[in-house]
Amino acid sequence: MKQAYFDDSKFGKRSPIRKTKTSTKRTLTKSDGVLPDDAIDGKVISVVGNQISVECFFNDSLISVDCTAAGRVISDNSGTLVAVGDLVKIIIDEKHSHDDKTFGTILKIETRKTKISRIDPANKNREQIIASNIDKVLIFVSAFDPPVNPRLIDRFVISCMLGKVKPIVCINKMDLAEEDVFIEYFEFMKDLSVPVYFISVLENTGIDKLKSELIGFETAVLGPSGAGKSSLLNKLIGDEYQAVKEVSLSTSKGMHTTSFSRRFRIPEAGFVIDTPGIREFGIWDLNQDELTLFFKDFEKFYLDCKFSACTHTHEPGCAVKSAVENGLIQQDRYDSYMSLFASMQK
């Protein structure tokens, strides 16, 4: 009989341990923490409150383990303690496990290689990790109902760059929109090296091209509620997805709205993470002086600004502002810059 345990005495004062119950304070530095011999590697596939589903190999088979975090967890990550995509060390609680369910405890969270995060809407001083260790983020919006929100897309793109993740933009519900207008509008994304796909899940157009961007990669799908994220994943994944949907339906009073993030295997290869609709998206950890670096489409203009430290907000002789006046930069794009600039700390 082995019990999930964690021996505090193995860690010195400078250990990167995060208390999970009594404190959210970080005390994170290097440590030579030793884990129990029977700790195994796993990957977080969903987090619902403090119920964490971890996939791992145990007795030569791939299983899903229902985990909770230990009272103290080793992690040198910032923000949310456990996020979908995290690589973890767990120990299986054999005493309480049975044929149908395996339980376990998370002892350690490995350093996140990439992430997509935002300012926690419930606490502006905290970083909320939406997904970690992903290759790409599919910024998924619809042309209509809900309409495109260019500022939200710009924020997602910047956060991807900060989190070392490749952004891809997808505009769904093109069955309801004029294609030419949208294609022209998103031209500037070329300067940012961000691919843009125009699709209709309903009419099954553009899906194959988009799919080839996802196969073999780990991708988080993010966007506003109702854009059609789950409809797309339903199409890409099929049966496994349906099974989860049935479960969430019974708990959400018949609504189709996704209420928690979950990782799914793409049958051909790779993974996608379905996430709940996002209403607010505040960029974590970016200050005003760095903002222009993320507006690469402004680059060909701002070298000509009169002042080298031009912020492109009020200065005379600003080449960015002239480009906006001459229609070389879209007004929307500039408004996006201004709105972000105003929302940021110096």
Ligand X SMILES: Nc1nc2c(ncn2[C@@H]2O[C@H](COP(=O)(O)OP(=O)(O)OP(=O)(O)O)[C@@H](O)[C@H]2O)c(=O)[nH]1
Query: Which residues here bind ligand X, judged by CB under 6 A?
Result: 172-173, 175-176, 200-202, 225-231, 256-258, 276-277
174 vs 244 by CB, closer to Mg ion: 244
What minimum distance in Å lies between the beta carbon of 102 and ligand X?
A: 29
Residue 318 engages Zn ion in binding (rule: CB under 5 A): yes
d(CA 284, CA 73): 23
What minimum distance in Å lies between the beta carbon of 84 and Mg ion?
A: 14
103 vs 302 by CB, closer to Zn ion: 302
Neighbours of 138 (CB within 10 A): 26
Q: Of the candidates 79, 182, 162, 85, which has an alpha carbon nearest to the alpha carbon of residue 131? A: 85
d(CA 153, CA 308): 28
Residue 131 engages Zn ion in binding (rule: CB under 5 A): no
Neighbours of 252 (CB within 10 A): 12
What minimum distance in Å lies between the beta carbon of 241 and ligand X?
A: 11
State the binding string over 251-290 for Zn ion (x if CB under 5 A, else -).
----------------------------------------
Partner whose footprint covers residue 157, from ligand X, Mg ion, Zn ion, none (CB < 5 to 8 Å by kind)? none
Backbone angles phi, psi at 263, to 5 degrees: -95, 135
Segment interacting with Zn ion, rule: CB under 5 A, options 41-49, 73-81, 283-291, 298-306: 298-306
Is residue 80 within 8 Å of residue 44, measured between CB atoms?
Answer: no
111 vs 252 by CB, closer to Mg ion: 252
211 vs 296 by CB, closer to Zn ion: 296
d(CA 58, CA 42): 10
Residue 323 engages Zn ion in binding (rule: CB under 5 A): no
Subset of 133-192 contacting Zn ion (CB under 5 A): none
Partner whose footprint covers residue 176, from ligand X, Mg ion, Zn ion, none (CB < 5 to 8 Å by kind)? ligand X
Here the tokens at position 89 are 């060390």
- Sign of torsion, CA 303 139 128 136? negative
Partner whose footprint covers residue 172, from ligand X, Mg ion, Zn ion, none (CB < 5 to 8 Å by kind)? ligand X
Neighbours of 66 (CB within 10 A): 15
Residue 312 engages Zn ion in binding (rule: CB under 5 A): yes
Here the tokens at position 248 are 């969430």
Partner whose footprint covers residue 320, from ligand X, Mg ion, Zn ion, none (CB < 5 to 8 Å by kind)? Zn ion
229 vs 312 by CB, closer to Mg ion: 229
Whether the link from the prior residue into 316 is cis, omega within 30° of 0, is: no
97 vs 149 by CB, closer to Mg ion: 149
Q: How far is CA 269 from CA 44, 88, 212, 218, in A?
A: 18, 22, 10, 9
Here the tokens at position 234 are 């339903």
96 vs 256 by CB, closer to ligand X: 256
What minimum distance in Å lies between the beta carbon of 307 and Zn ion?
A: 7
34 vs 338 by CB, closer to Zn ion: 338
Here the tokens at position 9 are 């005495």
The secondary structure of residue 10, as a DSSP letter, is: G
Residue 129 engages Zn ion in binding (rule: CB under 5 A): no
State the Cα angle at 104 between 100 and 106, rounded to 5°: 150
Residues near Mg ion, by CB under 5 A: 229-230, 258
